[in-house]
Chain A
């Protein structure tokens, strides 16, 4: 090889390395953006349904509340803090707005009150962190518990929102100009977004302006710099550290409350258990957006892509159909790990440049090797996950399309059950949802007659009276049905789960309790009661 080409090679290498050095912070951001788009492209090539532009816009529609919340979280993380209370504030906002609307309060007043409440909660947590020097993690954890707990003081059950203003906020379709004419011309439904998406993007624009073009933004970066240890130097520079931190936490409270409103107009109800584990999703999307968890560096813009990665992951898992929703958790965990790994490598590179001595170089070499191994490990881990996911997904290809497997959960027929109890039934059991999306109502009478109805079909079965007596005793005494240990737990069931309603009349007492397989805190006695009931029931042809 002649000298000239060698020189050229070195020059190219230098250009490349300076480019990488300069844009070091941007690497995770672009990686995330490329990842999100690639994942969507792969999905679109596998599933025809995903090519629909409406599905692409749905990514934003379904995660608008996540985006809003993640914007606030980005600032908190840049200052080197963390806020675990976001999911609690979202749930509290949804419940209290639902209850206030039910009581007939003016909707705009409700919106204002909710935003003020969020800011107030954020300010309280901020003051604990700023002035009492409590670790952000502990203070916001207390905030999470407080808000989640308060939800249940307000209302035990889910409260539906049917106020027209909130319906307008949630259901107004905003068509994309240009796209609309094209689709209407073709006679197809035009793709649209909703108001929360627009609000989310406006907030994003405001946040980008605030982070990069104002004094507050620069102070926020200064506080979190040097891996979050920079607070003292920021203070010595004469920056208003305390006020800025308070502002960041208050802003995050505002974002959480806004996210809660977006969530309320997305699901049109409020409940204390809504958005479980959302704080982790939010943190994961901020990290994937290229913000360092140690603080001081990151882009608000990247958070948008972090949220998109999350949304695409969820959409893909939904489209694959046979994968359960908990695969989302594993994939997000793995992605977070990979991005944190990338951050660590970048951080190590930064320290590497400062080292000079021979021994230290040896140390960095060892570090490099270690990083390589970890990278290989993470890659293998990811590949195994993908392999498992694909093998699980393959058999389902020729099954029903994912859209048709979505099931409309029938509401519990509580009045019908009460009527049956009045007619003399000892136990009424209603089951909905599940893999086949059933809606079955069973009644067991003391004389041993068991009836079942589902979708117009009626079945009858005869068991002995002694068996019924035994069943009732087992449920009410062995499984402590008439104690406080059996309480209703209800959530929207997961795709493969059943929702149960059991009403039992025994010894002059009547008690009804609802429960869902899988995601709820169903008391163990409830599950055992189900196990006792099931053998006595008639079996419908279509199910099981």
Chain B
């Protein structure tokens, strides 16, 4: 393989890199933490496991990172998946009810035996992920084969999905007391176990999109699905694939989230996370209109979102008020990506060549 010629270091090349903006944002937030929150960067080793605020960002951000991976591919095809939060709830409810079926008898007795489970763990996980994939196929069918706008098609599952999740759990909160399941979200192997899950899913999707032609197909469908069709790409199948993958990621995220709070709460698991995921992708620089995407940039975008959350918690902003802060960040990001500001930054780097006036 021919090595690419090494380009000279230039300001312009850096600013045009996809990772530039997300990394700058992350750096700014961490800088703020470093100055204003004492002990934010302290990492201690407890029983051989690393703990600290920095690790918490990764651990709590794992659900958004998982969602962002799937969402990146969906957005790259020019679509959007609003139903990921609902799919998370459906997967979590399925898992919860398979481990603790007491809610089916319409009574909230709490099983307190940590070794009791109704179904073996492998079956629980497979069933939850299978249902998530089914939801993805439904979305993919509506978008690819029915030609309904992606936003509308997934909105249907977003509305009905929580109802379905409550149908599964009979409208009750299922407490998860089975201890091995807790390990998914709360286990530590030097670093949190959920990070290994994220790493595996990331590696898988990176290999699939960058080492096979699927990634190029996805970008081509996102840029112009009609011409992709005429050049022999089965755009319907590609769309189906990305929606199924997105729902699969959402299913895993649902398992992690429910294990994290030890509850299958069909009302609140994944509530508004679809927005977090979409924002992570937007911060990562993937255009909402589809086309080029970067998985790594989306992951950094997810970390930016989580770092903001963590910082606000550390300062003492209440959980619900956090949304207002996030929205301001979104607006700043939107402004940063607008053509005017981009041109201005290029102009700083090279005032003579830039078209900005």
CB distance from A339 to the nearest CB of B (A): 10
Question: Given A138, A153, A340, A521, which contacts B330 in the complex, CB threshold below 8 Å?
Answer: A138
Determine if B335 is an interface residue (Cβ-Cβ < 8 Å).
yes
Question: B108 and A517: CB pair below 8 A?
Answer: yes
Question: A132 and B175: CB pair below 8 A?
Answer: no
Question: Given B171, B175, B275, B324, which contacts A528 in the complex, CB threshold below 8 Å?
Answer: B175
Question: B334 and A518: CB pair below 8 A?
Answer: no
CB distance from A498 to the nearest CB of B (A): 9
CB distance from B107 to the nearest CB of A (A): 9
Question: A142 and B263: CB pair below 8 A?
Answer: no
Question: B320 and A272: CB pair below 8 A?
Answer: yes
Question: B262 and A518: CB pair below 8 A?
Answer: no
CB distance from B99 to the nearest CB of A (A): 15
CB distance from A261 to the nearest CB of B (A): 22
Q: Which of B151, B152, B159, B263 is most buried by chain A, counting CB atoms within 10 A of its CB?
A: B159
Cα-based distance from A444 to B282 in the complex (angstroms): 52
Determine if B162 is an interface residue (Cβ-Cβ < 8 Å).
yes
- Chain A window 280-307, contacts with chain B (Cβ cutoff 8 Å), 1 for yes, 0 for no: 1001100000000110000000000000
**Contacting residues, chain A, for B158 (C-beta < 8 A):** 280
Size band of the interface chain A makes with B: 35 or more
**Contacting residues, chain B, for A519 (C-beta < 8 A):** 267
**Contacting residues, chain B, for A522 (C-beta < 8 A):** 173, 265
Known A132-B334, A149-B324; contact A327-B262, beta-carbon cutoff 8 A: no
CB distance from A110 to the nearest CB of B (A): 22
Question: A518 and B171: CB pair below 8 A?
Answer: yes
**Contacting residues, chain A, for B335 (C-beta < 8 A):** 132
**Contacting residues, chain B, for A330 (C-beta < 8 A):** 160, 163-164, 167
**Contacting residues, chain B, for A332 (C-beta < 8 A):** 159-160
Cα-based distance from A151 to B321 in the complex (angstroms): 7
Cα-based distance from A344 to B167 in the complex (angstroms): 29
Question: A517 and B146: CB pair below 8 A?
Answer: no
**Contacting residues, chain B, for A273 (C-beta < 8 A):** 320
Question: B146 and A344: CB pair below 8 A?
Answer: yes
Scan residues 495-538 of chain A and give those whose CB is less than 8 A from a CB of chain B: 496, 517-522, 524, 527-528, 531, 534
Question: B324 and A153: CB pair below 8 A?
Answer: yes
Instruction: Give A534's nearest chain B residue, CB to CB.
Output: B110
Known A132-B338, A145-B330, A370-B145; contact A326-B163, beta-carbon cutoff 8 A: yes
Instruction: Give B145's nearest chain A residue, CB to CB.
Output: A370
Determine if B42 is an interface residue (Cβ-Cβ < 8 Å).
no
CB distance from B64 to the nearest CB of A (A): 15
CB distance from A485 to the nearest CB of B (A): 10
Known A132-B334, A330-B167, A521-B268; contact A148-B172, beta-carbon cutoff 8 A: no
**Contacting residues, chain B, for A283 (C-beta < 8 A):** 155
Determine if B261 is an interface residue (Cβ-Cβ < 8 Å).
yes
- Chain B window 252-294, contacts with chain A (Cβ cutoff 8 Å), 1 for yes, 0 for no: 0000000001110101100110010010001000001000000
Cα-based distance from A337 to B155 in the complex (angstroms): 9
**Contacting residues, chain A, for B147 (C-beta < 8 A):** 344
Question: B159 and A293: CB pair below 8 A?
Answer: no
Scan residues 415-447 of chain A and give those whose CB is less than 8 A from a CB of chain B: none
- Chain B window 217-261, contacts with chain A (Cβ cutoff 8 Å), 1 for yes, 0 for no: 000000000000000000000000000000000000000000001
Question: Given B108, B171, B326, which contacts A145 in the complex, CB threshold below 8 Å?
Answer: B326
Instruction: Give A151's nearest chain B residue, CB to CB.
Output: B320
Determine if B322 is an interface residue (Cβ-Cβ < 8 Å).
yes
Instruction: Give A332's nearest chain B residue, CB to CB.
Output: B159
**Contacting residues, chain B, for A487 (C-beta < 8 A):** 318-319
Known A137-B151, A333-B160; contact A521-B288, beta-carbon cutoff 8 A: no
Determine if B74 is an interface residue (Cβ-Cβ < 8 Å).
no
Scan residues 137-172 of chain B and give those whose CB is less than 8 A from a CB of chain A: 145-149, 151-153, 155-164, 166-167, 171-172
**Contacting residues, chain A, for B330 (C-beta < 8 A):** 138, 141-142, 145
Determine if B112 is an interface residue (Cβ-Cβ < 8 Å).
yes
CB distance from B254 to the nearest CB of A (A): 15
CB distance from A298 to the nearest CB of B (A): 14
Question: B173 and A326: CB pair below 8 A?
Answer: no
- Chain B window 48-78, contacts with chain A (Cβ cutoff 8 Å), 1 for yes, 0 for no: 0000000000000000000000000000000
Question: B327 and A146: CB pair below 8 A?
Answer: yes
Determine if B355 is an interface residue (Cβ-Cβ < 8 Å).
no
Question: A145 and B323: CB pair below 8 A?
Answer: yes
Question: A336 and B321: CB pair below 8 A?
Answer: no
Question: Given B163, B275, B331, B334, which contacts A329 in the complex, CB threshold below 8 Å?
Answer: B163
**Contacting residues, chain B, for A327 (C-beta < 8 A):** 163
Determine if A224 is an interface residue (Cβ-Cβ < 8 Å).
no
CB distance from A126 to the nearest CB of B (A): 14
Cα-based distance from A540 to B335 in the complex (angstroms): 61
Question: Given B167, B173, B321, B326, which contacts A527 in the complex, CB threshold below 8 Å?
Answer: B173
Determine if B1 is an interface residue (Cβ-Cβ < 8 Å).
no
Known A138-B282, A333-B160; contact A531-B275, beta-carbon cutoff 8 A: no
Cα-based distance from A133 to B337 in the complex (angstroms): 11
Cα-based distance from A340 to B155 in the complex (angstroms): 11
**Contacting residues, chain B, for A82 (C-beta < 8 A):** 151
Question: B171 and A146: CB pair below 8 A?
Answer: no
Question: A340 and B163: CB pair below 8 A?
Answer: no
Cα-based distance from A90 to B314 in the complex (angstroms): 30
- Chain A window 320-340, contacts with chain B (Cβ cutoff 8 Å), 1 for yes, 0 for no: 000010111110111011001
Known A280-B158, A496-B171, A524-B262; contact A294-B149, beta-carbon cutoff 8 A: yes
**Contacting residues, chain B, for A135 (C-beta < 8 A):** 288
Question: A329 and B320: CB pair below 8 A?
Answer: no
Question: A149 and B151: CB pair below 8 A?
Answer: no
Cα-based distance from A524 to B258 in the complex (angstroms): 10
Question: A145 and B324: CB pair below 8 A?
Answer: yes
Question: Given A134, A150, A333, which contacts B334 in the complex, CB threshold below 8 Å?
Answer: A134
Question: B160 and A334: CB pair below 8 A?
Answer: yes
Cα-based distance from A102 to B161 in the complex (angstroms): 39
Determine if A374 is an interface residue (Cβ-Cβ < 8 Å).
yes
Question: A152 and B163: CB pair below 8 A?
Answer: no
Determine if A128 is an interface residue (Cβ-Cβ < 8 Å).
yes
Question: B159 and A333: CB pair below 8 A?
Answer: yes
Known A334-B160, A340-B148; contact A326-B327, beta-carbon cutoff 8 A: no
Task: List 5 interface pairs A-B (beta carbons < 8 Å), by A numbering.
Answer: A138-B334, A145-B272, A145-B326, A147-B324, A327-B163
Q: A153-B324, A326-B163 are in contact. List 19 more A-B contacts (CB 8 A).
A: A142-B327, A142-B330, A142-B334, A145-B323, A145-B327, A148-B323, A149-B321, A152-B320, A277-B159, A280-B155, A293-B149, A327-B163, A329-B163, A333-B159, A340-B148, A370-B145, A487-B318, A522-B265, A527-B263
Across the A-B interface, give the 5 residue pairs with the lowest CB-CB distance, nearest first.
Answer: A149-B324, A333-B160, A329-B163, A149-B323, A330-B163
Q: Which residues of B contact A (CB under 8 A)?
A: 80, 108, 110, 112, 145-149, 151-153, 155-164, 166-167, 171-173, 175, 261-263, 265, 267-268, 271-272, 275, 278, 282, 288, 318-328, 330-331, 334-335, 338
